Amino acid sequence: MGLSVRVVTVCGTRPEAIKLAPVVHALRADPDLEDVLCITGQHRQMLDQVLQVFDLTPDHDINLMKPGQDLSYVTSAALEGVGRVIDQITPDWLIVQGDTTTAFAAALAAFYRKVKVAHVEAGLRTGDIYSPWPEEMNRKLVGAIATLHFPPTKLAAQNLRREGVPEDAICVTGNTVIDALRWMDNRLSQDDKFRAALEARFSSFLNSGRRLILVTGHRRENFGHGLEQVALGLRDLADRGDVEVVYPVHLNPRVQQTANTILSGHDNIHLIDPLEYAPFITLMRRAYLIVTDSGGIQEEAPSLGKPVLVTRDTTERPEAITSGAARLVGTDRKALVSAATELLDDREAYLRMARVENPFGDGNASKIIVARLKKHSSQSPHG
């Protein structure tokens, strides 16, 4: 009789769904593993779009999202909701990804029931529990609970060792976001009809004669002054005339207000609704450079040869910086404009960033995770 292991995979936000979709598919391809997909709905619309593009239907939907939700509500609702699912399923493992409130609350729910936790994208640290906030603390708390840790890089693994995590509990995998990106990039390259339909969504307003700066921004620590400074810097860049800015604006009202107040009405700036995964990757492929405070995009962009300017003061992905694929510019207007201007005007500087090999993996992380999960389960099937 073969190994039989029941796994509950939990996600609540768009980035989690992107990074866990390849893991779920790898779990479901293995006859020894039974995967149950549980979503919390911490982000609703954006989460559903990702699940659809990866052809995933959740087995359990806690659907906790409500207007004006704060961190206390999300934490308690996810803790209770995931706990009910665990009680019903009685899994051997619970898998969480990254640093969201969903990941922390789900891990805590598993701990309360003595269910083993596997942490995908473990070990990322800035050393400042308030930057990014609350993500840095969420990561540390999940790390304190997890039985298996899947850091994406050697540096992340070193962070775990410094915190006392046993060597046999650590498995460096690369980042699953590269698995997802390669899957989508291959589809866009091979399916002409699919690619053309996505590109047509932007043809009405994009100018092929201008280089595209793709922007995202949503970090809580940047709300207010930080986002305002970034927006002013983007406006300065758009004034050049030889670039255009595309900014899919996050649904958070504070992000919307800042973007609309400072950036609307400029001919070279396009404020659009948040995008599903496939059209966003389409824009990434077309972009000349990317301005973002997103962790996931810092990981994805090097695979597409796109320099990244990171509008944060710290990053838990220093490999992007040290490799030369990304540069920290903070939320300083002048620093953003200066760095972007160099990349726009100095071809050699641009190529130095664009040609860096991605330090976050080769697209095989999901296979490594499933193999390690099975190995641990076969060694200790009852604990």
pLDDT in tens, 256-265: 999 999 999 9
Query: Are 308 and 298 a contacting pair, CB within 8 Å?
Result: yes
Q: Do 375 and 342 sit in the same domain of this protein?
A: no
pLDDT tens-digit profile of 275-333? 989 999 999 999 999 999 988 899 999 999 999 999 998 888 999 999 999 999 999 99
**Catalytic residue check, 60:** no
Q: Is the pLDDT of residue 94 over 90?
A: yes
Q: Greater confidence, 45 or 320?
A: 320
**Distance separating alpha carbons of residues 264 and 188, to the nearest angstrom:** 31
Percent of the chain with pLDDT over 90: 84
**Catalytic residue check, 192:** no
187: in domain: no
Res 161: pLDDT: 98
Query: Are 27 and 7 a contacting pair, CB within 8 Å?
Result: yes
Name the catalytic one among 92, 135, 179, 221.
135
**Catalytic residue check, 220:** yes
Q: Do 128 and 223 sit in the same domain of this protein?
A: no
184: in domain: no
Query: Are 41 and 11 a contacting pair, CB within 8 Å?
Result: no
**Catalytic residue check, 99:** yes
For 268, the token pair is 């070279």
pLDDT band at 190 (very low <50, low <70, confident <90, very high): very high
pLDDT band at 1 (very low <50, low <70, confident <90, very high): very low
What is the arithmetic mean of pLDDT over 80-107?
A: 97
Res 210: pLDDT: 96
- pTM confidence score: 0.86
Name the catalytic one among 182, 220, 286, 352.
220
What is the arithmetic mean of pLDDT over 35-62?
A: 91
**Distance separating alpha carbons of residues 198 and 193, to the nearest angstrom:** 9
Q: Nearest 10 degrees: CA dihedral of 66, 71, 72, 77?
A: 50
**Distance separating alpha carbons of residues 73 and 79, to the nearest angstrom:** 10
Strands 116-120 and 243-248: unpaired
pLDDT band at 2 (very low <50, low <70, confident <90, very high): low
Q: Do 253 and 116 sit in the same domain of this protein?
A: no
**Catalytic residue check, 179:** no
User: CATH code at 241?
Assistant: 3.40.50.2000
Q: DSSP assignment, residue 170?
A: B
Q: Do 131 and 230 sit in the same domain of this protein?
A: no
Query: Could you tell me the sign of the dihedral formed by the alpha carbons of 292, 248, 342, 239, in that order?
Result: negative
| Cα within 13 Å of Cα(4), Cβ side | 2
Q: Greater confidence, 271 or 3?
A: 271
**Distance separating alpha carbons of residues 80 and 318, to the nearest angstrom:** 35
Q: Is the pLDDT of residue 206 over 70?
A: yes
332 phi, psi to nearest 5 deg:
-95, 125
Q: Do 58 and 142 sit in the same domain of this protein?
A: yes
pLDDT tens-digit profile of 118-168? 999 999 999 999 988 999 999 999 999 999 999 999 999 999 999 999 999
Res 9: pLDDT: 98
**Distance separating alpha carbons of residues 80 and 300, to the nearest angstrom:** 33
pLDDT band at 364 (very low <50, low <70, confident <90, very high): very high
Average pLDDT, the chain: 94
- Domain that includes residue 277, residue range: 192-354
54: in domain: yes
182: in domain: no
What is the arithmetic mean of pLDDT over 239-255?
A: 92
Q: Do 150 and 42 sit in the same domain of this protein?
A: yes
Q: Do 227 and 147 sit in the same domain of this protein?
A: no
186: in domain: no
Name the catalytic one among 35, 99, 293, 299.
99
68: in domain: yes
Query: Could you tell me the sign of the dihedral formed by the alpha carbons of 217, 306, 266, 331, in that order?
Result: positive
Q: Do 347 and 368 sit in the same domain of this protein?
A: no
**Catalytic residue check, 355:** no
143: in domain: yes
Q: Do 140 and 280 sit in the same domain of this protein?
A: no
CA proximity to 283, closest of 193, 350, 185, 358: 185
pLDDT tens-digit profile of 100-111? 999 999 999 999
Name the catalytic one among 218, 240, 286, 372.
218
Contacts of 354 (CB under 8 A, 6+ apart): 305, 306, 307
What SS3 class is residue 324?
A: coil
pLDDT band at 380 (very low <50, low <70, confident <90, very high): low
**Distance separating alpha carbons of residues 287 and 271, to the nearest angstrom:** 15
Name the catalytic one among 35, 61, 92, 121.
121
257: in domain: yes
Q: Do 165 and 85 sit in the same domain of this protein?
A: yes
Tell me the DSSP string of 146-164. -SEEE-SSHHHHHHHHHTT
Q: Do 145 and 27 sit in the same domain of this protein?
A: yes
Q: How many domains does the chain have?
A: 2
Res 68: pLDDT: 84
Res 379: pLDDT: 81
Q: Do 217 and 254 sit in the same domain of this protein?
A: yes
What is the arithmetic mean of pLDDT over 247-258?
A: 89
